[in-house]
Structures are given as structure tokens and as C-alpha cells.
């Protein structure tokens, strides 16, 4: 079967200086949920905007179901649904009217229109609120309306840019339950951007980690975690930075697969933590480093991210900021 | 092509639906033009300082001008609002629909004409109340509103063009004023062009507002339709040029 997305050496430079995408290569199979995971400014949104034909790439090629995003944009736009990160419905008309406007833009015939809209609203749990003005909706309802809108045409592929940003956990869960059942029912490919680790972990079949405009790692959540090895010993350090020499010694230990240095912490990837721990502590002791805390964990996507992108995903500040912006837009 | 036409009508329908829910903006916007015809017109009229064609009253003379100033104002801000839609996701989503992006620009621009016509319909009864003598001819009246509708799209396109050079919403208010006021004062809205200094006369001949006012004044008040063809042609050229420029500049809004 044809790949849903095929991107080759894609580069996007804004204003001749900002290199948002720096040679992206990516293939996404049809019918899966695909997560593009990365920090702010990694190029996630730019990639989605190129794939949805809003922006032209500076160089390289991108295909959606074999169609070229530059030359066959019109054909692609008939196959895709897109939910931007920002709010994308009109707040001064009702939820039903929003969908009606889009149904007409998409050319859904007048006989089918009402049925299609009712179905989309119902599937997103908005049946009762359909005739209320969108400005009276909560953030979660607005997001569900946007997704209902994306479901109007039965798309081949849905592009969702941070689909659950700023939503509370229960609203988030509802959105994903709907998306997952929609994927199963119609075989739609779901391509989403996120910087929520748990979202990528729980709801995607495949994850690409993107950092500084490049895909740094690709695989399922399980594969990515397994690639790090058995267990992780994390030493939390206060103040005293660890020297290169002692890092080298740690790396040379028998059971150690890799050592990753983070902000005020050192993570040591090992086969088995219990056997490796005494030796590792010994090295730190010789170096006169006394860790504040030692923890042993199974690898998470966050650790995967740390290994391949060189930093942890810091999310909290960003989420409240976007939630705030969406809030302001809703209030008008 | 078919998609584009459909998109165009959907944008107009969208505007009607928004108006059905909330017309407050139009009522507030009507305050200013009403002040012009209820206070400024009669007061200036008593001075008899400005010669009017066919000796119609001064208030009658400025009514079409003030009407069009207010609809133009509305359209300029409407175009700026599209840039606000860029900050929200609406524009992005519209770009990922089958219709061409040019249809989106033109459709959104023309939708401002719907709002403009309703604005006009609010002002007319007030003008009737204070005794402005309109030509009692339905065909003329309808023609005037059709012309206002089409001209509105061009004015909305001007602001899309200007807005595409701006990056922040905070500058909108100032820029809206900066576009509309020169157009208004350097037009025949408040005084005949013959009274202007030469430099202003030249500007006024390329000022689209003058042609719209002239057409509306002929159809609503004086009945003098001798310039109507020229007016309509000028408005058509204005619309086409601005739609093309706005469509080109639209690329900048997207990125």
C-alpha cells in the first residue's frame, strides 16, 4: 500500500535565515496514528503546514498519498482534514452553523449535509450544544467541535497540530477515544504533533522525534524505549558538575550502555540496575560527587527524547501560554 | 472554478448568519454617520457656504457621502479582521479546503459588502426621518446598494493588502483610520470636487471613494446618472486591481 506521507530531504527556510526544517526524511504508513514529538520550535508545525499545502518547501520533496504538495495541492486538499493548533471556528455563530459552513465549502451535497453534520456532532458528544453559540463553549467543547469539523469529509488522513493542547485530562481522554475509534472505523491515518510524552506513548503506533528541524529517531513507543536498554539509574546532582573524566569512567563500566547528561542530573543506562549501582556510586565517590537522590526507572519516552534530542521536553510554561491564548480568542 | 464560486457564496452566507446572531456592531457604527447627517449637515447647511448641484439641501448632498464613508470604514476593518483570523486558526483551515486561496480572499472581501449593505439600511431610515429627499425609485435604490456591495469588496481588499505588511494586531486601529480619513476628505463626499485645490482634485480623480459616492448620489438623491457608466467602470477596475494585489499579498499573510 502507498505511504500516507513521504518526505525526502525537506528544507524550509523562513525569511532567508530561520531554518525551520533542515533536511527531514520521513515515511508514514497509511492507516496508523503517527506522532511527531518535539519541543517548541523543532519544526513540527512547519512540517504539518507544508504537508497540508499551506506553505511551499524551500527545497526537497513531500508527497501525501503519492501526490506532490507543490504541484498537486488541490488534489491533496480533497483528501485531508486539518485541525490547526489555534482556534479555528467562528465563535459568533452556533456549532451547527460552523459545520454547515464547512460542509458547504467541502461541497457535501444538500441531501447528505444535515445527516453528516448531525453524525459528526453526535460522535463528538456535541449533539445537545449544537445550536448554542460557540462563544458559550468550554475549551474542550471547542476542540471537539474542531475535530467534528475535520470528520465531516471522511478524510484519508487527518493532520492535527497539538490536538489536546490546553485541555484538562478528562477532555483530553474523550478527544483521543473519539479519534482512536474513528481511526479504527474508517482506517484514517492520523498524523499529529505533540509535545506531550504520554499522548505520543498512549495513542500512536509510530513516533518520530524531531529536534532542530531534523528527525532524530523513528519507531514505535516500545521500540524507542527498548532502544535505551533495561533500566535507568538517575543521579540528581546539586551544583557540582560532573567532569568529563568521570563520565568516561562511568561509560567504561561493564554494565553501562550509555550515559546521558541532563540539567542537574546524570542518567546511566544499564542492563540491570542492582548490579551496576555499586560500581557507579564508587566512581562518583572517588570524584567527590555526592548525589542528592538516586532513582531507578524503566525508560520512558522522556528519556528517549533526552538521549536523541539532548534535552528534556519542558512543557509546563508553554501549555499555560497556549491555553491562555485560546481562552482569549474564545472570549473575543 | 465551481468550488471557487461556491466558496464565494458560502462566505456571504456565513456573514448573514453572523449578522443574524449579533448586529450590535452595526448599530454602534451607525452612530457616527447619523451624527454627520443629523447635526453636521443641517448646521453647515444654514451657512450656505458650499454650493450643491441642483440646489439640493446640504444634508441631502452629504447623505450618500456619509453613508459610503461608514460602509467603507466597516469594510476596511473587515479586511483587517481577516488578518486577525490568521492569528486564530480560521484562515489556516480555510486554506486547507478544496477552494482556491484566491476564492478565499475575494469571497471574504465581498462578504464585507453584506455587512456594508446592512449598515446602509440602518442609516437610511434615520435620513428619511430628518427629511432627506430620496428619489422614490426602487430600481435606483437597489442599483445604489448593488454598487455599494461591489465597491465594498475592493475596500476590504485594500486593507488586506495593507494588513499583509503588518505583523501585529495592535496597529490595526491606527492603520484603519490612516486609510479611511484621507479617502474620505479627499473625495466628493462632503463638498463638490470643483471646490478643491488643484492637487487634491487630481487625487480625487484616482480616489475610488469619489466614484462610489458619485454613483450613489446620482441614484439616491439627484437623479443625475450622466456619470454612472464611468463610475461603474472605475469601481470595476478598482475591484479587479485590488483583488489581484490582495491575492498576491495574501501569501505574506499566510507565512
Cβ-based contacts of B6 with chain A (< 8 Å): 104-105, 107
Q: Given this model, what pLDDT does residue A316 score? A: 43
With beta carbons less than 8 A apart as the criterion, state whether B83 and B163 touch: yes
Spell out the domain ranges in chain A: 3-224, 229-298
pLDDT tens, position by position, B208-229: 999 999 999 999 998 888 899 9
Percent of chain B with pLDDT over 70: 98
Nearest-CB residue to A107 (from B14, B87, B98): B98
Cβ-based contacts of A101 with chain B (< 8 Å): 10, 13-14, 17
Average pLDDT, chain B: 87
3-state SS string for chain A: CCEEEEEEEEEEEECCCEEEEEEEEEEEECCCEEEEECCCCCCHHHHHHHHCCCCCCCEEEEEECCEECCCCHHHHHHHEEEECCCCCCCCCCEHHHHHHHHHHHCCCCHHHHHHHHHHHHHHCCCCCCCCCEHHHCCHHHHHHHHHHHHCCCCCCEEEEECCCCCCCHHHHHHHHHHHHHHHHHHCCEEEEEECCHHHHHHHCCEEEEEECCEEEEEECHHHHHHCCCCEEEEEECCCCCCCHHHHHHHHHCCCEEEEEEECCEEEEEECCHHHHHHHHHHHHHHCCCCCCEEEEECCCHHHHHHHHHCCCCCCHHHHHHHHHHHHHHHHC
Percent of chain B with pLDDT over 90: 37
Average pLDDT, chain A: 85
Cβ-based contacts of A80 with chain B (< 8 Å): 96
| CATH architecture type of domain A229-298 | 2-Layer Sandwich (3.30)
Q: Do A77 and B98 touch (CB under 8 A)?
A: yes
- Mean pLDDT is lowest, of A98-102, A304-308, B139-143, B251-255, for B251-255
Q: Is pLDDT of B161 > 80? A: yes
**The domain A3-224 belongs to what CATH superfamily?**
P-loop containing nucleotide triphosphate hydrolases (3.40.50.300)
Q: What pTM does this model have?
A: 0.82
Q: Name the pLDDT band for A323 (thresholds 50, 70, 90).
A: low
Q: Given this model, what pLDDT does residue A232 score? A: 85
Q: Is pLDDT of B71 > 50? A: yes
Across residues A37-58, what is the average pLDDT? 90
- Substitution target in B9, B16, B89, B253 with the highest count of A β-carbons within 10 Å is B89
Q: Is pLDDT of A317 > 50? A: no
Q: Is pLDDT of B8 > 70? A: yes
Q: Given this model, what pLDDT does residue B213 score? A: 94
Q: Name the pLDDT band for A314 (thresholds 50, 70, 90).
A: low
Q: Given this model, what pLDDT does residue B17 score? A: 93
Coil, strand or helix: which one is B51?
coil
Burial group, residue B165, by CB count within 10 angstroms (0-12, 13-18, 19+): exposed
Q: Given this model, what pLDDT does residue A332 score? A: 45
* Nearest residue of B to residue A328, measured between CA atoms: B88
- The CA distance from A148 to A167, in Å, is 16
Amino acid at each position: 500500500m502507498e505511504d500516507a506521507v513521504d518526505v525526502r530531504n525537506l528544507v524550509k527556510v523562513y525569511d532567508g535565515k530561520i531554518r525551520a526544517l533542515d533536511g527531514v526524511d520521513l515515511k508514514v504508513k497509511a492507516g496508523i496514528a503517527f506522532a511527531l514529538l518535539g519541543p517548541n520550535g523543532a519544526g513540527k508545525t512547519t512540517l504539518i503546514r507544508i504537508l497540508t499545502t499551506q506553505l511551499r518547501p524551500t527545497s526537497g520533496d513531500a508527497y501525501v498519498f503519492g501526490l506532490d504538495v507543490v504541484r498537486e495541492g488541490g488534489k491533496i486538499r480533497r483528501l485531508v482534514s486539518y485541525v490547526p493548533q489555534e482556534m479555528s471556528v467562528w465563535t459568533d455563530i452556533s456549532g451547527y452553523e460552523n459545520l454547515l459552513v464547512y460542509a458547504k465549502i467541502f461541497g457535501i451535497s444538500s441531501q447528505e449535509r444535515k445527516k453528516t453534520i448531525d453524525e459528526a456532532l453526535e460522535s463528538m458528544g456535541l449533539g445537545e450544544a449544537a445550536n448554542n453559540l460557540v462563544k458559550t463553549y468550554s475549551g474542550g467543547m471547542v476542540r471537539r467541535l474542531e475535530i467534528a469539523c475535520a470528520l465531516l469529509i471522511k478524510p484519508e488522513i487527518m493532520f492535527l497540530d497539538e490536538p489536546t493542547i490546553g485541555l484538562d485530562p478528562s477532555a483530553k481522554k474523550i478527544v483521543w477515544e473519539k479519534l482512536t475509534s474513528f481511526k479504527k472505523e474508517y482506517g484514517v491515518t492520523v498524523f499529529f504533533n505533540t509535545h506531550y510524552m504520554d499522548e505520543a506513548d498512549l495513542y500512536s503506533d509510530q513516533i518520530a522525534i524531531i529536534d532542530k528541524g531534523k528527525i532524530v529517531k523513528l519507531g514505535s513507543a516500545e521500540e524507542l524505549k527498548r532502544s535505551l536498554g533495561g533500566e535507568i539509574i538517575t543521579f540528581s546532582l546539586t551544583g557540582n558538575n560532573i567532569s568529563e573524566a568521570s563520565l568516561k569512567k562511568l561509560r567504561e563500566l561493564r554494565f553501562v550502555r550509555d550515559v546521558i547528561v541532563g540539567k542537574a542530573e546524570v542518567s546511566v543506562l544499564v542492563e540491570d540496575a542492582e548490579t551496576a549501582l555499586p560500581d557507579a556510586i564508587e566512581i562518583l565517590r572517588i570524584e567527590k560527587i555526592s548525589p542528592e537522590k538516586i532513582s531507578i526507572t524503566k525508560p520512558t519516552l522522556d528519556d528517549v527524547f533526552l538521549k536523541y534530542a539532548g534535552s528534556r521536553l519542558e512543557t509546563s510554561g508553554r501549555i499555560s501560554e497556549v491555553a491562555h491564548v485560546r481562552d482569549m480568542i474564545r472570549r473575543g | 472554478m465551481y468550488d471557487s464560486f461556491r466558496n464565494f457564496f458560502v462566505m456571504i452566507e456565513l456573514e448573514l448568519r453572523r449578522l443574524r446572531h449579533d448586529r450590535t456592531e452595526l448599530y454602534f457604527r451607525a452612530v457616527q454617520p447619523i451624527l454627520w447627517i443629523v447635526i453636521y449637515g443641517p448646521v453647515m447647511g444654514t451657512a450656505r457656504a458650499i454650493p450643491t448641484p441642483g440646489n439640493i439641501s446640504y444634508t441631502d448632498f452629504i447623505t450618500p457621502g456619509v453613508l459610503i464613508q461608514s460602509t467603507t470604514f466597516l469594510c476596511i476593518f473587515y479586511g483587517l479582521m481577516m488578518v486577525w483570523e490568521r492569528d486564530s486558526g480560521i484562515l489556516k483551515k480555510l486554506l486547507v479546503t478544496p477552494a482556491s486561496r484566491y476564492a478565499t480572499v475575494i469571497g471574504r472581501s465581498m462578504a464585507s459588502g453584506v455587512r456594508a449593505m446592512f449598515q446602509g439600511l440602518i442609516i437610511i431610515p434615520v435620513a428619511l426621518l430628518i427629511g432627506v429627499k430620496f428619489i422614490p425609485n426602487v430600481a435606483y435604490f437597489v442599483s445604489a446598494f448593488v454598487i455599494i456591495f461591489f465597491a465594498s469588496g475592493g475596500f476590504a481588499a485594500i486593507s488586506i493588502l495593507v494588513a499583509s505588511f503588518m505583523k501585529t494586531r495592535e496597529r490595526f486601529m491606527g492603520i484603519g483610520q490612516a486609510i479611511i480619513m484621507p479617502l474620505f476628505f479627499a473625495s466628493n463626499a462632503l463638498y463638490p470636487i470643483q471646490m478643491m485645490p488643484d492637487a487634491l482634485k487630481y487625487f480625487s480623480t484616482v480616489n475610488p471613494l469619489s466614484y462610489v459616492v458619485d454613483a450613489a448620489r446620482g441614484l439616491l438623491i439627484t437623479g443625475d446618472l450622466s456619470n454612472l457608466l464611468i463610475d461603474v467602470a472605475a469601481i470595476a477596475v478598482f475591484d479587479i486591481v485590488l483583488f489581484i494585489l490582495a491575492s498576491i499579498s495574501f501569501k505574506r499573510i499566510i507565512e
